[in-house]
Amino acid sequence: AQSVTQLGSHVSVSEGALVLLRCNYSSSVPPYLFWYVQYPNQGLQLLLKYTSAATLVKGINGFEAEFKKSETSFHLTKPSAHMSDAAEYFCAVIGWTGNQFYFGTGTSLTVIP
């Protein structure tokens, strides 16, 4: 079975500081992992994906994530936070059938001016 755990339901960073959002996965098979962002009153937008190619994945808006098998982690980072990064972030893993996404509980990012 596949699942993801997001550590920290709320993260606050100062504008210009490093953003680190944590995601750990559990999977009995090589996982396919995703990060989505949700701005207020909007749907989910794909930030980046890991599909067993390069372990360091670059996404949109300056975000990247590194797949670490030894740590079963797929943490999301951005070197310098911008006010526009304030949103809800969801880590997700895809199930065997490819039809089911298992979402983490989400992390709300606040950026302090």
Q: Does 104 bind another protein (CB under 8 A)?
A: yes
For residue 51 the two structure tokens come to 């599909």
State which of residues 7, 49, 59, 72 lies at the interface with another protein (CB under 8 A). Answer: 49
Shorter beta-carbon distance to another protein: residue 66 or 103: 103
> Strand 101-103 and strand 107-112: pairing?
unpaired
Contact 106, 89 (CB under 8 A): yes
Quick one: which of 25, 34, 63, 74 contacts another protein (CB under 8 A)? 34
The yes or no reply on residue 97 touching another protein (CB under 8 A) is: yes
Burial of 1 (0-12, 13-18, 19+ CB in 10 A): exposed
Binding site for another protein (CB under 8 A): 32, 34, 36, 41-46, 49, 51-52, 88, 90, 94-101, 103-106, 108
